[in-house]
Protein backbone atom coordinates (compact mmCIF):
# COMPACT_ATOMS: atom_id res chain seq x y z
CA UNK A 1 0.00 0.00 0.00
CA UNK A 2 1.50 3.30 -1.07
CA UNK A 3 1.14 6.35 1.16
CA UNK A 4 -0.14 9.46 -0.67
CA UNK A 5 2.30 12.38 -0.83
CA UNK A 6 0.44 14.48 1.75
CA UNK A 7 0.40 11.63 4.26
CA UNK A 8 4.05 10.93 3.56
CA UNK A 9 4.88 14.62 4.09
CA UNK A 10 3.10 14.72 7.46
CA UNK A 11 4.56 11.37 8.57
CA UNK A 12 8.10 12.44 7.69
CA UNK A 13 7.64 15.81 9.42
CA UNK A 14 6.39 14.14 12.61
CA UNK A 15 9.24 11.62 12.60
CA UNK A 16 11.88 14.24 11.92
CA UNK A 17 10.71 17.21 14.01
CA UNK A 18 8.47 15.96 16.84
CA UNK A 19 11.40 15.80 19.30
CA UNK A 20 12.38 19.39 18.55
CA UNK A 21 8.79 20.59 18.86
CA UNK A 22 8.42 18.76 22.18
CA UNK A 23 11.67 20.21 23.59
CA UNK A 24 10.68 23.77 22.66
CA UNK A 25 7.20 23.31 24.14
CA UNK A 26 8.58 21.75 27.31
CA UNK A 27 11.11 24.54 27.66
CA UNK A 28 8.26 27.06 27.65
CA UNK A 29 5.72 25.22 29.77
CA UNK A 30 7.91 23.12 32.06
CA UNK A 31 5.12 20.56 31.95
CA UNK A 32 5.32 17.28 30.06
CA UNK A 33 1.55 16.94 29.60
CA UNK A 34 1.15 20.46 28.21
CA UNK A 35 4.17 19.96 25.94
CA UNK A 36 2.70 16.74 24.54
CA UNK A 37 -0.61 18.51 23.87
CA UNK A 38 1.24 21.34 22.13
CA UNK A 39 3.08 18.83 19.90
CA UNK A 40 -0.26 17.42 18.81
CA UNK A 41 -1.68 20.90 18.19
CA UNK A 42 1.34 21.93 16.11
CA UNK A 43 1.15 18.89 13.85
CA UNK A 44 -2.62 19.23 13.47
CA UNK A 45 -1.97 22.80 12.35
CA UNK A 46 0.64 21.51 9.90
CA UNK A 47 -1.94 19.06 8.58
CA UNK A 48 -4.50 21.87 8.16
CA UNK A 49 -2.18 24.52 6.70
CA UNK A 50 0.31 22.36 4.77
CA UNK A 51 2.73 25.20 4.13
CA UNK A 52 4.82 24.71 0.99
CA UNK A 53 7.99 24.34 3.05
CA UNK A 54 10.62 21.62 3.38
CA UNK A 55 13.84 21.21 5.36
CA UNK A 56 15.01 24.11 7.52
CA UNK A 57 12.17 26.50 6.57
CA UNK A 58 9.65 23.86 7.70
CA UNK A 59 11.58 23.33 10.94
CA UNK A 60 11.62 27.09 11.56
CA UNK A 61 7.87 27.28 10.86
CA UNK A 62 7.20 24.44 13.30
CA UNK A 63 9.31 26.12 16.00
CA UNK A 64 7.50 29.44 15.50
CA UNK A 65 4.09 27.73 15.72
CA UNK A 66 5.27 25.83 18.83
CA UNK A 67 6.40 29.03 20.54
CA UNK A 68 3.09 30.73 19.75
CA UNK A 69 1.03 27.75 20.94
CA UNK A 70 3.13 27.49 24.13
CA UNK A 71 2.48 31.15 24.88
CA UNK A 72 -1.25 30.57 24.32
CA UNK A 73 -1.21 27.70 26.82
CA UNK A 74 0.67 29.77 29.40
CA UNK A 75 -1.75 32.70 28.98
CA UNK A 76 -4.72 30.38 29.44
CA UNK A 77 -3.17 28.93 32.61
CA UNK A 78 -2.47 32.40 33.96
CA UNK A 79 -6.08 33.46 33.35
CA UNK A 80 -7.36 30.45 35.23
CA UNK A 81 -4.75 30.94 37.96
CA UNK A 82 -4.77 27.25 38.69
CA UNK A 83 -2.12 24.58 38.51
CA UNK A 84 -2.33 22.67 35.23
CA UNK A 85 -4.13 19.34 35.36
CA UNK A 86 -1.78 16.42 35.55
CA UNK A 87 1.12 18.60 36.58
CA UNK A 88 4.24 16.56 36.02
CA UNK A 89 7.26 17.06 38.19
CA UNK A 90 10.40 17.67 36.17
CA UNK A 91 12.49 14.59 35.60
CA UNK A 92 15.34 14.31 38.07
CA UNK A 93 18.44 15.97 36.68
CA UNK A 94 21.98 14.95 37.47
CA UNK A 95 23.29 17.01 40.38
CA UNK A 96 26.06 18.31 38.15
CA UNK A 97 23.52 20.13 35.96
CA UNK A 98 21.12 21.41 38.63
CA UNK A 99 22.84 24.79 38.86
CA UNK A 100 22.66 25.23 35.09
CA UNK A 101 18.96 24.37 34.98
CA UNK A 102 18.27 26.71 37.90
CA UNK A 103 20.12 29.52 36.14
CA UNK A 104 18.22 28.84 32.89
CA UNK A 105 14.93 28.98 34.79
CA UNK A 106 15.78 32.52 35.93
CA UNK A 107 16.12 33.78 32.35
CA UNK A 108 13.27 35.44 30.48
CA UNK A 109 11.47 33.12 28.01
CA UNK A 110 12.89 34.86 24.93
CA UNK A 111 16.45 34.69 26.32
CA UNK A 112 16.07 31.01 27.16
CA UNK A 113 14.62 30.32 23.71
CA UNK A 114 17.42 32.21 21.96
CA UNK A 115 20.07 30.24 23.87
CA UNK A 116 18.31 26.95 23.14
CA UNK A 117 17.94 27.68 19.42
CA UNK A 118 21.54 28.85 19.12
CA UNK A 119 23.37 26.21 21.12
CA UNK A 120 21.13 23.17 20.89
CA UNK A 121 19.50 23.55 17.47
CA UNK A 122 22.45 25.37 15.87
CA UNK A 123 20.56 28.32 14.39
CA UNK A 124 22.27 31.57 13.45
CA UNK A 125 21.26 34.91 14.93
CA UNK A 126 19.48 35.80 11.67
CA UNK A 127 17.40 32.62 11.79
CA UNK A 128 16.63 33.11 15.48
CA UNK A 129 15.50 36.67 14.79
CA UNK A 130 13.02 35.34 12.25
CA UNK A 131 11.63 32.85 14.75
CA UNK A 132 11.36 34.95 17.91
CA UNK A 133 10.95 38.34 16.26
CA UNK A 134 13.28 41.30 16.00
CA UNK A 135 16.42 42.01 14.07
CA UNK A 136 19.55 39.92 13.70
CA UNK A 137 21.43 42.40 15.87
CA UNK A 138 18.77 42.14 18.58
CA UNK A 139 18.99 38.34 18.51
CA UNK A 140 22.78 38.51 18.82
CA UNK A 141 22.51 40.89 21.77
CA UNK A 142 19.85 38.68 23.37
CA UNK A 143 22.18 35.65 23.14
CA UNK A 144 25.13 37.63 24.54
CA UNK A 145 23.09 39.09 27.41
CA UNK A 146 21.61 35.70 28.23
CA UNK A 147 25.13 34.21 28.37
CA UNK A 148 26.22 37.01 30.69
CA UNK A 149 23.21 36.48 32.94
CA UNK A 150 23.96 32.76 33.03
CA UNK A 151 27.57 33.48 34.03
CA UNK A 152 26.36 35.85 36.74
CA UNK A 153 23.81 33.35 38.11
CA UNK A 154 26.32 30.51 38.08
CA UNK A 155 29.10 32.52 39.71
CA UNK A 156 26.77 33.60 42.55
CA UNK A 157 26.04 29.98 43.44
pLDDT in tens, 39-55: 999 998 988 887 777 77
Q: Say if CB 60 and CB 131 are below 8 A apart.
A: yes
Q: Domains of the chain (ranges plus CATH)?
A: 1-91 (1.10.1740.10), 94-157 (1.10.10.10)
| CA dist., res. 47 & res. 11, Å (int) | 10
Is the pLDDT higher at 52 or at 26? 26
| CA dist., res. 116 & res. 107, Å (int) | 12
* Residue 77: exposure state from Cβ atoms within 10 A (0-12, 13-18, ≥19): middle
**pLDDT score, position 94:** 55
Considering Cα of 53, then 10, then 86, then 93, what sign does the dihedral take? negative
Residue 86's pLDDT band, with cuts at 50, 70 and 90, is: very low
Distance of CA 98 to the CA centre of its chain: 20
**pLDDT score, position 108:** 84
pLDDT in tens, 106-156: 888 888 888 888 887 788 888 888 888 888 899 889 888 888 888 888 787
pLDDT in tens, 51-75: 777 778 888 899 999 999 998 888 8
| CA dist., res. 7 & res. 45, Å (int) | 14
Is the pLDDT higher at 108 or at 79? 108
**Predicted structure pTM score:** 0.55
Amino acid sequence: MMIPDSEKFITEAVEKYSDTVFRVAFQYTGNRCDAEDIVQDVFVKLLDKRPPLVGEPLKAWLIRVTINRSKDVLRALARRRKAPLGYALPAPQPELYEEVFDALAQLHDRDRTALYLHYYEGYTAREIAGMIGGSERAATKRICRAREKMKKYLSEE
